Structure 1
Amino acid sequence: MQFSRAGDGRERPGSVVDMEWIADPMDAGGWLRERLDDDWSMHHFVPHGFEAYARIFHPAEVRSLPDRAVPTMDEWVRMPDAEQQRLMEQFVDEPASWADAAAAFGTTVHALAQWQHLVRTPTDGDWRSRIAPDGREFSSPSEGEMSPELLAAIARHLVAHTSTPDAGYAALWEGRGGLLGFFGEGPSRGFYEFTDDLAHAQVLGQSFRDRFNNPFRKPKWQPGILSDEISKGPRLELPDRNHVLFAAAPAAFADPDWILDAPWRDREAEGHGFDPSAQHPSILWPADRAWVMVSEIDFDSTIVAGSNELIRAICADPPIEALPIREGSSLHWDADDINR
């Protein structure tokens, strides 16, 4: 379920950015499959055959309090309501780099670093939220996506290292809830609405109960963000991941507002009060195949494959936390041999 909040209603009337669905995705993207491996190195998702590779670390988040350590969950549940409220009003949440986390936990950022080891997660601990010795709480980076602003910063380097900045492709993983239509008993997601109207609340409650109280209901077609034609159409089939493929100029992603032009913009969520959003592309590449950017859905980092010059430029850009990574590297959860 998603909880609605105020959206900003942004639009870009008259935009000329054009992203068209590719009805024959294997013709345009089949070359990727030929360069992927069946093992679980990064090349299960990232193609071989490029001069160099960069690992871009997705930002984490850090929470702090001005006069004390962030409470643990056990401390929080024992705390009086008034104290909880006081602390919630004082929380400061900020983006955090992997270098920030490493400094806080006394570990090392390197090309094969794994977040759970970087924040010294015990065997039975939760790596998604860890409190550092200095009392700050670090939350894990997002997987398979980054902010439009970070993508734009990366894309500015990408477009400078291709002869076809106005022609390329964007592949979307098919499994994100709500993206595609499907046959089922109810939508793949719902939106909670808050109301003081008792009758309206009862209707909303009944609508959710009805979806689960009839196990013999016949499945019917549930529309998605994309059209029925696209939902039922062919996929770019890669190892363990199928994608919907669009023609998309790499230059379009150099503007954080690319989400306003994307055919997969989530207008249904906007109708429930959410800000404009669009699923992050899992794979981007230009028509000349000078580089490939892969944001694998289970990776907390993005890999760019390209020329030595491109990789050096990305790794030297301060807003982008990135390191060169060797071809053939593994990003498996136990690949970090330094932070043990």
Structure 2
Amino acid sequence: MAADVGPGMWIVKHVHRFNEHAIASLVPPVFDSYARIFHPAMAIDGEPVRWTDVAVANGTTAHPTMEWGSLVGSWHTPEQPGVWQEAPEQGSLPPRAARSLVGVLRRLHPDTRYLLVRPLARIRPHHRSRKLSRLPMPSREDMVLFSGDIDLADTQFGGGMLGMSAHLWWPEDRAWCVATDIDLMTTYLGASAECVEAVLTAPELEALPATSDQKITWDSDTVNPLPGSPSSGF
């Protein structure tokens, strides 16, 4: 755990308020390029299933602002036999995808990393009473700053069923920043054009180009039919 939140204050300074519901609300809009990394669905044999393949199976269109509910027709579809068994993880970059992303970032920017997690919901109860280094994120719950090697990026904080990946991580030189919000099925990267291109072309990841003003709400997909709200129950 980091003793000083100073290394994270640049994010507090630059990130937009969360109620703008854009990538800039998660990743500071200070980078040349951005990518949206899609958390894979899972097949019955445990293998990852790309959103692009799910779109093909459903006659919908894969594109940079696609949303899972619009691809499959509902946010409440539990499975699609022969296509996918489990929907993409919400709020957590799966460890396998995290390791793949780390592989790309390590080649371009080997450095020490800092990780952030939500302090109450994602830290074990017996640790919450400690004096934690909290980063005052605008319009959101404070986050706790951890420091360590980039290999920690696949750590599932909280353990058990509550385990989730870090919500933010970046190198000391601020060459890139990765963000995973607790409500989303995708992860976002801000970086140089070279770094983003490397992620977009990594065969083990499914990623598409994005912009900092791109919306991140469930109804952002303007290409495919819009299903009912995730909270509607229908």
SS in 2 for 1:139: coil
- In the alignment, which residue of structure 2 is the partner of 1:188? none
Cα shift at 1:62: 3.6
What is the number of residues matched between the two proteins? 222
Asked if 1:42 is matched to 2:23, the reply is yes
Structure 2 alignment gaps of length 5 or more? 226-234
Work out whether residues 128 and 139 of structure 1, in 8 Å CA contact, stay in contact via their aligned partners in 2: no
Aligned to 1:97: 50
Distance 1:24 1:93 in 2: 40
Describe the shift of the 1:137–1:313 C-alpha distance in structure 2 as closer, same or farther (beyond 3 A): closer
Task: Output the CA distance in 1 between the equivalents of 2:203 and 2:135.
Answer: 34
Contact 2:36 / 2:188 at 8 angstroms: preserved in 1?
yes
Q: Is the 8 A contact 1:98 1:109 kept in 2?
A: yes
Preserved contact between residue 119 and residue 130 of structure 1 (Cα < 8 Å): no
- Letter in structure 2 aligned against 1:98: W
What residue in structure 1 maps to residue 40 of structure 2? 59
| Structure 1 residue aligned with 2:142 | 242
Residue 90 of structure 2 corresponds to which residue in structure 1? 143
DSSP-derived class of the 1:238 partner: coil
- TM-score under structure 1 length normalisation: 0.60
Query: Which residue of 1 is the match for residue 76 of structure 2?
Result: 127
Which residue of the partner structure matches residue 170 of structure 1? Answer: 115
Deviation at 1:169, TM superposition (A): 0.5
Give the distance between the partners of 1:54 and 1:143, measured in 2 at CA.
18
Measured against aligned partners, the alpha-carbon deviations of 1:97-147 in whole angstroms (never above 9, x if no partner) come to 1012101100111110010001122xxxx4342547xx6555321112133
Cα distance between partner residues in 1 of 2:158 and 2:89: 20
Mark the CA change 1:131 to 1:150 in structure 2 (over 3 Å): closer, same or farther.
closer
Task: Give the ranges of 4+ consecutive aligned residues of structure 1 lying more than 6 Å apart after TM superposition.
Answer: none
Aligned-pair CA distance for 1:318: 1.3
**Residue aligning to 2:12:** 33
1:288 aligns with 2:145: no
SS in 1 for 2:178: strand
> What is the percent sequence identity of the aligned residues?
29
Alpha-carbon distance between aligned partners in 1 of 2:10 and 2:215, rounded to the nearest angstrom: 22
Distance in structure 1 (CA, Å) of the matches to 2:164 and 2:86 = 21
Structure 1 residue matching 2:8: 3-state secondary structure: helix
| Bigger Cα Rg | 1
The TM-score normalised by the length of structure 2 is: 0.84
Match of 1:160, SS?
Answer: helix
Aligned to 2:229: none
Q: Is the 8 A contact 1:153 1:320 kept in 2?
A: yes
1:308 to 1:279, Cα distance in 2 relative to 1, 3 A: same
SS across alignment from 1:312 = helix
In 2, the alpha carbon distance for the partners of 1:107 and 1:243 equals 37
Q: How far, CA to CA, are the matches of 1:36 and 1:43 in structure 2?
A: 6
Residue 283 of structure 1 contacts residue 294 of structure 1 at CA under 8 Å; is this kept in 2? Answer: yes
Aligned-residue CA RMSD (Å): 2.5
